[in-house]
């Protein structure tokens, strides 16, 4: 095996394509024409090579998907095969950095952001291709694959329906989406919109926590357990606070990776708030800090 | 930068307002100011003020944390 590997001048990670690409693309060419729309509406099956409108729709869709797939995997192989394969234009660089650097949240965004914050752009605004290829690109490829799969499911569902419920025009729109989500700018849009949604949820939660209503803690509740720990013996905040415990609670909140909101709020808000998210935060704190019920 | 802006608790029963106020003052870091206002129903609204939030503070916090996590 080692001898085999040593004998290879380069290894891209992608085996050679099993089909004759040129022949496949030539066979698919008639289905890429704009004429498919008029063919689909022709009264006679003759214009569709003897296919019914539904059969023709399905054939056009699958042939176009085949072309997109051939080009996509060639594109992906070139992306990952060598750092020199992608001409990282300034537009894409800025798109990646502006899009990912301003938002956070998903694992993909995290990886991409880490790369961005790690100094993709140097003093002369040139891209650090090594960091881009090691960190940002895998996240974007992962996003492209996931989005392509999602788009494909939409198409598969569509062509399972009659032509009256899923016209060729609708199908072609979905096929175009399938193409777009397999592009780097398409992946950036997906990553940033997901991260944006997560950010909006965190912002909404913070807004809710800014104004809460007093709720008398019931005995044995997570709120009362934490209050007793901070303000022994009965949790009344008029008692002197156990500063060491409050510091532990504060430090835990700052480092909690599940709920990014609580580190930005006074402890009263999430310790008193009756929402499920705050209750979960309290339970995590109790377990993590080993707070015992007194 | 940690806590910023104002946070309040309303509906605090009469007699509990001083305890809640003290609880806010105990925070790490402590607020700049804490005010108590008695509402029409006799309960209290306690408002604690921290330094104003910079623009888009939540995004900035998350970005910093994730960047650190990616190191």
Distance CA A226, CA A256 (A): 17
- Is the domain of A162 the same as that of A58? yes
Q: Does residue A294 sit within a domain?
A: no
pLDDT band, residue A82 (cuts 50/70/90): low
Q: Does residue B58 sit within a domain?
A: yes
Predicted confidence at residue A178, as pLDDT, reads: 95
Contacts of A269 in chain B (CB under 8 A): 7, 9
Polymer length in residues for chain B: 71
Q: Does residue A136 sit within a domain?
A: yes
Q: Which residue has the higher pLDDT, B54 or A155?
A: A155
Q: Does residue B1 sit within a domain?
A: no
Last residue of a domain, one of A169, A203, A237: A203
pLDDT band, residue A129 (cuts 50/70/90): low
- Is the domain of A223 the same as that of A178? no
Asked whether A274 and A215 are in contact (CB, 8 A), the reply is yes
Last residue of a domain, one of A203, A225, A247: A203
- Is the domain of A119 the same as that of A246? no
- Is the domain of A164 the same as that of A136? yes
Predicted confidence at residue A123, as pLDDT, reads: 31
A212/B10 Cβ within 8 A: yes
Of A114, A246, A265, the CB nearest to B26: A246
Mean pLDDT lowest among A109-118, A253-262, A272-281, B42-51 = A109-118
CA-nearest residue of chain B to A205? B58
Contacts of B71 in chain A (CB under 8 A): 114, 118
Distance CA B8, CA A267 (A): 12
- Is the domain of A60 the same as that of A176? yes
A269/B11 Cβ within 8 A: no
Is the pLDDT confidence value at A107 over 80? no
Please write the tens of the pLDDT for every residue from B3-49: 999 999 999 999 999 999 999 999 999 999 999 999 999 999 999 99
B61/A214 Cβ within 8 A: no
- Is the domain of A29 the same as that of A126? yes
Q: What is the dihedral of CA A209, A215, A220, A222, to 10 degrees?
A: 0
CA-nearest residue of chain A to B59? A103
Separation in Å, CA of B52 to nearest CA in chain A: 12
Domain that holds residue A196: 21-203
Q: How many domains does chain B have?
A: 1
Last residue of a domain, one of A183, A203, A223: A203
- Is the domain of A220 the same as that of A195? no
Q: Does residue B41 sit within a domain?
A: yes
Q: How many domains does chain A have?
A: 2
Contacts of A212 in chain B (CB under 8 A): 8-10
Contacts 24+ apart (CB under 8 A), A188-191: A188/A95, A188/A96, A188/A99, A188/A100, A188/A140, A189/A99, A190/A143, A190/A147, A191/A99, A191/A100, A191/A106, A191/A108, A191/A109, A191/A112, A191/A139, A191/A140, A191/A143
Of B3, B48, B62, the CB nearest to A104: B62
- Is A201 in the B-facing interface, judged by CB distances under 8 Å? no
- Is the domain of A178 the same as that of A113? yes
Q: Which tokens in the block code for residue A176?
A: 């175009």
**Is the link from the previous residue into A23 a cis peptide, with omega within 30 of 0?**
no
B13/A214 Cβ within 8 A: yes
- Is B63 in the A-facing interface, judged by CB distances under 8 Å? yes
Q: Does residue A10 sit within a domain?
A: no
Q: Does residue A48 sit within a domain?
A: yes
Q: Does residue A7 sit within a domain?
A: no
Predicted confidence at residue A80, as pLDDT, reads: 75
Beta strands in chain A (DSSP E): 211-213
Alpha carbon separation from A16 to A68, A70, A178 (Å, rounded): 17, 12, 24
Asked whether B10 and B39 are in contact (CB, 8 A), the reply is yes
Q: Does residue B66 sit within a domain?
A: yes
- Is the domain of A220 the same as that of A189? no
- pLDDT (average), residues A105-120: 46
Q: Does residue A14 sit within a domain?
A: no
Q: Does residue A198 sit within a domain?
A: yes
Is the pLDDT confidence value at B56 over 80? no
Alpha carbon separation from A265 to A43, A223, A230, A269, A277 (Å, rounded): 67, 16, 17, 7, 14
Q: Does residue B19 sit within a domain?
A: yes
Contacts 24+ apart (CB under 8 A), B24-30: B24/A266, B24/A268, B24/B48, B26/A237, B26/A241, B26/A246, B27/A250, B27/A266, B27/A267, B27/A268, B27/B3, B28/A246, B28/A247, B28/A250, B29/B2, B29/B3
Q: Does residue A8 sit within a domain?
A: no
Domain that holds residue B28: 6-70
- pLDDT (average), residues A97-122: 44
Separation in Å, CA of B4 to nearest CA in chain A: 7
State the ipTM, two decimals.
Answer: 0.79
- Is B36 in the A-facing interface, judged by CB distances under 8 Å? no
Asked whether A114 and B66 are in contact (CB, 8 A), the reply is yes
């Amino acid at each position: 095996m080692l001898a085999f590997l040593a004998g290879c001048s380069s290894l891209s990670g992608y085996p050679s394509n099993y089909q004759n690409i040129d022949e496949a693309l030539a066979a698919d060419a008639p289905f890429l024409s704009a004429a498919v729309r008029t063919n689909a509406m022709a009264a006679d099956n003759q214009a569709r090579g003897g296919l019914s409108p539904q059969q023709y729709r399905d054939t056009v869709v699958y042939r176009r998907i085949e072309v997109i797939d051939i080009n996509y995997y060639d594109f992906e192989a070139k992306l990952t095969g060598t750092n020199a394969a992608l001409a990282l234009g300034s537009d894409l660089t800025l798109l990646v950095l502006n899009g990912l650097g301003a938002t956070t949240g998903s694992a993909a965004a995290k990886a991409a952001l880490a790369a961005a914050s790690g100094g993709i752009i140097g003093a002369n605004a040139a891209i650090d291709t090594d960091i881009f290829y090691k960190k940002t690109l895998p996240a974007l490829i992962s996003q492209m694959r996931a989005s392509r799969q999602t788009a494909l499911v939409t198409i598969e569902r569509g062509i399972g329906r009659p032509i009256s419920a899923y016209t060729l025009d609708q199908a072609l729109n979905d096929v175009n989406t399938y193409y777009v989500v397999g592009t780097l700018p398409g992946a950036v849009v997906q990553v940033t919109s997901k991260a944006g949604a997560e950010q909006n949820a965190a912002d909404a939660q913070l807004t809710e926590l800014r104004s809460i209503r007093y709720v008398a803690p019931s005995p044995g509740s997570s709120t009362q357990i934490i209050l007793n720990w901070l303000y022994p013996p009965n949790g009344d905040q008029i008692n002197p606070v156990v500063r060491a415990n409050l510091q532990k609670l504060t430090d835990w909140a700052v480092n909690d990776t599940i709920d990014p909101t609580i580190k930005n709020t006074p402890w009263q808000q999430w310790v008193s708030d009756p929402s499920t998210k705050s209750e979960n935060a309290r339970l995590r704190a109790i377990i993590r800090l080993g707070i015992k019920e007194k | 930068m940690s806590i910023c802006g104002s946070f309040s608790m309303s509906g605090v029963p009469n007699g509990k307002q001083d305890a809640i106020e003290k609880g806010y003052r105990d925070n790490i870091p402590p607020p700049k100011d804490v005010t108590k206002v008695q509402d029409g129903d006799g309960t209290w609204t306690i408002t604690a003020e921290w330094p104003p939030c910079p623009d888009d503070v939540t995004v900035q916090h998350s970005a910093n944390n994730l960047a650190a996590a990616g190191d």
